Amino acid sequence: MYAYTRRYTGPVQAVILDWAGTTVDFGSLAPIHAFTRLFTAEGVPITEAEARKPMGSEKREHVRLICEMPRVAESWKARFGSIPGSADVDRLYEKLIPLQVESIRERATLIPGMAEFAAWAGKRGIGLGGNTGYATEMVPELLQLAAKQGYAPGSNVCATEVPKARPWPHMSLRNAMELGVSNLAACIKVDDTPTGIEEGLNAGMWTIGVAISGNQVGLDLPQWQALSINEQAEKRAAATDIMARSGAHYVIDSVADIIPVIEEIERRLAKGEHPAG
């Protein structure tokens, strides 16, 4: 009996990155601001922790998951006489869109190191793709603002553009196709949420979790820098543990730390190692 083994041993061809908390919006605050404003306007305020729990999800699904939280559902029932239904979710999602567009605009600054990484990747011939839980109509201005700062992905896919969003692999697979990737082992998915890491794993890609600049810490850059060394270490350890437990092959503080990891992945590929082992 014989078994044929075929393994990709070439360079990294593409890096696919999430948006909020990974490439822009240090602290991943744009979605939080939009959701807290949305529910406050309904007379059913939610906490930041409640807004963050479904992060990474397609935004209508995000609305639905918040509405299903027991405390939120009970508060909604006390306000409106019944728990939120599908019609409420649809109405809330429509109200969310302009709020989300506004908060994206407010939080569109590239995370430090992203422009430098984009330039480095371009020189290496590595394609860059973006994907997001944001809907298509939420991102045109974000793409323009990011490009002005030095990041213009060759492919961008929104959750509303595929049959199933995260943790299904559809967005990353579409990114890979649009970037002309020849082998999924040559791709890396970078994300600040466990569901985004699961997306990359389901797509058969290497994965890099982001611990500090994204959803797991949830502080903007000045707030993070204002913490003591001990406070930073405590939050880093907790966030790193969450992302490592999600299955990420590597965990970094932010995109500023990504280049050495890509170089390490290329060394592993050259030795015949693959994302699945």
What is the tens place of the pLDDT at every residue in 73-106?
Answer: 999 999 999 999 999 999 999 999 999 999 999 9
Could you give the CA distance from residue 266 to residue 117 in angstroms, rounded to a whole number? 16
Identify the three-state secondary structure at position 79. helix
Is 192 assigned to a binding site? yes
Residue 1 vs residue 199, higher pLDDT: 199
Q: Is 59 a catalytic residue?
A: yes
pLDDT at 5 over 90: no
Q: What are the phi and psi torsion angles at 92 (to 5°)?
A: -65, -40
| Spatial CA neighbour of 199 closest among 235, 153, 241, 164 | 164
Q: Is 18 a catalytic residue?
A: yes
H/E stretch holding 158 reads strand 155-158
Query: What single DSSP character describes residue 227?
Result: S
- 3 and 90 Cβ atoms separated by less than 8 Å: no
- Give the residue extent of every domain in the chain: 14-26+109-271, 30-106
Of the residues 18, 25, 191, 253, which is catalytic? 18
Longest dimension (CA), the chain: 69
Which pTM does this prediction carry?
Answer: 0.94
Percent of the chain with pLDDT over 90: 97
Of the residues 25, 59, 189, 235, which is catalytic? 59
Is 220 assigned to a binding site? no
Strand order from edge to edge, sheet including 187-191: 155-158, 127-132, 14-17, 187-191, 206-210, 250-252
Give the pLDDT of residue 174: 99
Is 20 assigned to a binding site? yes
Give tens-digit pLDDT for 223-256. 999 999 999 999 999 999 999 999 999 999 999 9
